[in-house]
Amino acid sequence: MEAIEIFAHNPGPMTGAGNHTYLIPGRRTVLIDAGTGDPRHLDAVDRELSARGRRLDAVLVTHAHGDHASGAGALAARWPEAAFFKYPSPARDGKYPAPWQPLADGDRVRAGDGLLTVVHTPGHAPDHVAFWDEAAATLFCGDLAVLGSTVVILWSHGGSVTQYLASLERVLALAPQRMLPAHGPVIEDPRALLLAYRAHRQAREDQVLDALARGCGTIPEMVAVIYPDLQEALRPMAGESVHAHLVKLLDEGRVAQDGERFAPVRDPLPRSLSGEAR
Ligand SMILES: [Zn+2]
């Protein structure tokens, strides 16, 4: 299906050059991601619609972060007939009022003259979905991947390394030929990027375990060792990432927590010393 990239006009420290949204024209004209409501974005959507004699029928949002969802209200005001869809996020959806209808994993959504399949891909955010155009082997991947960068997993915003790794595996299994992201250039070799992300998370986890083994017990101590040259302003963000990795290790029983301190859990007893080997 045809996808027209439309810039959301929201450059900033968290969005880089700003977000891409994608207009899919056809019998049911759909916009993927809502941007932030910048009038230049709305006007650009309007121009593309007018050029094709279409109206906006639906808006599909990848997740409830402001740069993807906060423009929904402005779009709803300009195109009152449009329907709005996202995977429910009870904690955050109220922040971005629009007549949201729920998406579920595996839903098939009409878009343009074809179909998109909803792929729930939590990790960056609990409600993150990607949209799979099977006919073109193209994935609208939201914030699952950003070429030239890694994806931020903010523990305090519901980010989960365990879920993110599972989402990477899920998308690897789809074997997309192309991914259209919300940030950065089109991803022409998704497999290479997804494998690099997997390796990056493993390397980061190894660094966290190494810092723990060297006696760093608190998140600020670990950040100081893992990111020695990081500027002060970015340290809280790095702490969020370390925390997200610690939660995975806690879930796996490989790390224990006591208040603000973390410690590695010793390897289980070798079999020769355990009851099983009597
Ligand atoms: Zn995001």
pLDDT tens-place string over residues 208-247: 999 999 999 999 999 999 999 999 999 999 999 999 999 9
Cα-to-centroid distance, 210 and ligand 1 (Å):
29
What is the model's pLDDT at position 270? 55
> Is residue 171 located within the same domain as residue 210?
no
Q: For residue 122, what is the domain's CATH number? A: 3.60.15.10
Q: What is the mean pLDDT of residues 152-170?
A: 94
Q: What is the mean pLDDT of residues 127-140?
A: 98
181 forms beta bridges with 142
Cα-to-centroid distance, 225 and ligand 1 (Å):
27
Give the domain range for residue 247: 200-264
Tell me, yes or no, whether 278 lies in a domain. no
> Is residue 178 located within the same domain as residue 248?
no
Cα-to-centroid distance, 88 and ligand 1 (Å):
15
The pLDDT of residue 16 is above 90: no
Cα-to-centroid distance, 131 and ligand 1 (Å):
15
> Is residue 179 located within the same domain as residue 218?
no
Tell me, yes or no, whether 23 lies in a domain. yes
State the pTM of this model.
0.91
> Is residue 152 located within the same domain as residue 211?
no
> Is residue 102 located within the same domain as residue 150?
yes
Where are any strands of DSSP class E within the chain?
4-7, 20-24, 30-32, 58-60, 83-86, 100-102, 108-111, 114-120, 129-133, 138-142, 178-181, 255-258, 261-264
Tell me, yes or no, whether 193 lies in a domain. no
What is the model's pLDDT at position 278? 41
